[in-house]
């Protein structure tokens, strides 16, 4: 993303005089508070649950103590950082002190977020930038009028649109925020371009790499990544290859982890929920249809490492039954498309990336950056497109479409 001339935006003033409020002191909120404090901002870390914000500060302190022990930072810097964070317990966001930026990171419920943004609008000045760390909700759904849901009921059946939607955007951090460099800067239909640019520059100053995208289901990373899981699951479901071998084939293609071991790490339930959300929000586009294979894992409580069993079985943190067939992996890759996990996966990742750009939701450069930093892919979709060529990708999709009609493998118009 290119830098532009919004450096005089109040968000970009001296951090010491630019307070930030982070709402929700869970895994994400605590990490975001740490990042903002490290950049020199006074931070109010707010949580509705008694003691949660203070406990989050303790977790930040413990994490930093480990960094000091490893010699990565000094105790003086840690004390200064911790001194910047003030925990606050309240469920009434009108009581949050006046700040330049709010980053909301409470539970993933549209109604809860809608209520919070309306409270913020009552109490914060119209210049305060209001960001949400939502992974799956639309920025526009937070901003607009609503006639259903808890929030509407609270307001006598009609919950109002925000009066100043221009200053509302998504700042989608990745877990854990102090480590992960990527931040998706998400524009709602009403978001002010100057606010988006200033927010992108701010997170850059926080040491992050911003990418800009529209408020499209899954944004960039959670959308483009869907076929990485879906293709492997379909192949295993059909008995074309076993789970350990599909993982091996993709690791050999440069992915740090295969899709099966990766979903066991993420949690099959968490990964399925993201997939379901994108699928529902795209009117059940067959491209994103969750697999029966993954649904069965979740139904059977095989959630992955956290339950000791997912695709694989874990003992002492190691998969004990991930036994790839090296010879088979070698034979499938470069063979017929239908049984080649790498050809299928790459063609679909390219198709997703190209389509997102074709719809005007992000730039090609940002899509590649997002996938490399957000998912650790060795390349982005446009990197693979350059390597494979559009003809080859189109032919791969056409072959798959012949075998599996129904629209999942329809090529993007841009191909």
Ligand X SMILES: NC(=O)c1ccc[n+]([C@@H]2O[C@H](COP(=O)([O-])OP(=O)(O)OC[C@H]3O[C@@H](n4cnc5c(N)ncnc54)[C@H](O)[C@@H]3O)[C@@H](O)[C@H]2O)c1
Instruction: Please confirm, yes or no, whether 135 is among the known catalytic residues.
Output: yes
DSSP codes joined into one string, 163-225: S-GGGEEEEEE-SSTTT--EEEEEEPTT--HHHHHHHHHHHHHTT-EEEEEES-TTTTHHHHT
Binding residues among 39-78 for ligand X as defined by CB under 6 A:
47-49, 52
**87 SS3 class:** strand
> If binding is defined by CB under 6 A, does position 133 make contact with ligand X?
yes
Which is it for the CA torsion 326, 329, 335, 338, positive or negative? positive
Cα-flanking dihedrals φ and ψ of residue 70, to 5°? -85, 0
Looking at the Cβ atoms of 135 and 351, the one nearer to ligand X is 135
The least CB distance from residue 92 to ligand X, in Å, is 9
Query: Whose CB is nearest to ligand X?
Result: 26
> If binding is defined by CB under 6 A, does position 354 make contact with ligand X?
no
**238 SS3 class:** coil
Looking at the Cβ atoms of 184 and 242, the one nearer to ligand X is 184
> If binding is defined by CB under 6 A, does position 29 make contact with ligand X?
yes
8 Å CB contact between 256 and 370: no
The least CB distance from residue 141 to ligand X, in Å, is 13
DSSP 8-state symbol, 162: P
Region near ligand X per CB under 6 A, out of 78-86, 128-136, 282-290, 370-378: 128-136
Instruction: Please confirm, yes or no, whether 138 is among the known catalytic residues.
Output: no
The least CB distance from residue 93 to ligand X, in Å, is 7
Binding residues among 163-192 for ligand X as defined by CB under 6 A:
173, 175
- Cα–Cα separations (whole angstroms), residue 394 to 190, 226, 282, 344, 414: 36, 19, 22, 11, 10
Find the Cα–Cα–Cα–Cα dihedral 28, 31, 36, 42, rounded to 10°. 100
Would you tell me how many other CB atoms lie within 10 Å of the CB of residue 380? 25
Among 11, 21, 22, 23, binds ligand X (CB under 6 A): 23
The least CB distance from residue 189 to ligand X, in Å, is 20
Instruction: Please confirm, yes or no, whether 184 is among the known catalytic residues.
Output: yes
DSSP 8-state symbol, 160: P
CA–chain centroid gap for 136, Å, is: 8
Catalytic residue among 121, 184, 201, 361, which?
A: 184
The least CB distance from residue 366 to ligand X, in Å, is 18
- Binding track over 104-123 against ligand X, x by CB under 6 A: -xxxx---x-----------
Catalytic residue among 6, 121, 133, 135, which?
A: 135
DSSP 8-state symbol, 4: -
The least CB distance from residue 193 to ligand X, in Å, is 24
- Binding track over 79-98 against ligand X, x by CB under 6 A: ------------x-------
Region near ligand X per CB under 6 A, out of 21-29, 222-230, 247-255, 376-384: 21-29
132 membership: H or E segment, kind and range: strand 129-132
Tokens of 322: 């991930």
Q: Which residues are catalytic?
A: 135, 172, 184, 222
List residues near ligand X by CB under 6 A.
23-29, 47-49, 52, 91, 105-108, 112, 133-135, 173, 175
């Amino acid at each position: 993303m290119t830098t532009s001339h919004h450096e005089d935006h109040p968000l970009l003033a001296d951090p010491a005089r630019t307070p930030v409020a982070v709402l929700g002191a869970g895994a994400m909120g605590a990490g975001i508070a740490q990042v903002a404090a490290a950049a020199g901002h006074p931070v109010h870390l707010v949580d509705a649950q008694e003691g949660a914000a203070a406990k989050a500060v303790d977790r930040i302190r413990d994490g930093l103590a480990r960094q000091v022990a490893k010699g990565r930072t000094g105790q003086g810097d840690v004390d200064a950082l911790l001194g910047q964070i003030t925990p606050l317990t309240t469920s009434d966001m009108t009581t949050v002190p006046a700040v330049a930026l709010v980053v909301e990171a409470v539970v993933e419920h549209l109604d809860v977020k809608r209520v919070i943004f309306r409270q913020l609008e009552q109490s914060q000045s119209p210049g305060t930038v209001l960001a949400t760390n939502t992974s799956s909700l639309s920025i526009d759904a937070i901003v607009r009028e609503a006639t259903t849901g808890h929030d509407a009921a609270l307001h006598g059946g009609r919950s109002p649109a925000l009066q100043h939607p221009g200053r509302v955007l998504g700042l989608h951090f990745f877990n854990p925020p102090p480590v992960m460099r990527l931040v998706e800067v998400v524009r709602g239909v009403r978001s002010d371009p100057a606010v988006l640019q200033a927010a992108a520059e701010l997170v850059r100053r926080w040491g992050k790499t911003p990418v800009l995208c529209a408020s499209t289901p899954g944004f960039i990373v959670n959308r483009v990544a869907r076929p990485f899981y879906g293709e492997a699951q379909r192949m295993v479901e059909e008995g074309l290859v076993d789970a350990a071998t599909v993982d091996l084939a993709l690791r050999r293609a440069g992915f740090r982890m295969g899709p099966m071991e990766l979903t066991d790490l993420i949690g099959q339930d968490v990964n399925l929920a993201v997939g379901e959300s994108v699928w529902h929000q795209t009117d059940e586009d067959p491209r994103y249809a969750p697999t029966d294979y993954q649904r069965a894992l979740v139904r059977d409580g095989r959630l992955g490492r956290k339950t000791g069993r997912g695709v694989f079985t874990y003992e002492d943190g190691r998969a004990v039954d991930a036994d790839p067939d090296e010879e088979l992996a070698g034979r499938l890759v470069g063979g017929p498309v239908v049984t080649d996990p790498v050809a299928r996966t790459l063609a679909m990742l390219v198709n997703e990336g190209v389509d997102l750009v074709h719809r005007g939701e992000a730039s090609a450069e940002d899509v590649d950056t997002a996938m490399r930093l957000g998912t650790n892919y060795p390349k982005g979709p446009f990197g693979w497109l350059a390597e494979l060529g559009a003809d080859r990708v189109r032919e791969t999709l056409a072959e798959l479409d012949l075998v599996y009609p129904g629209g999942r493998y329809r090529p993007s118009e841009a191909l």
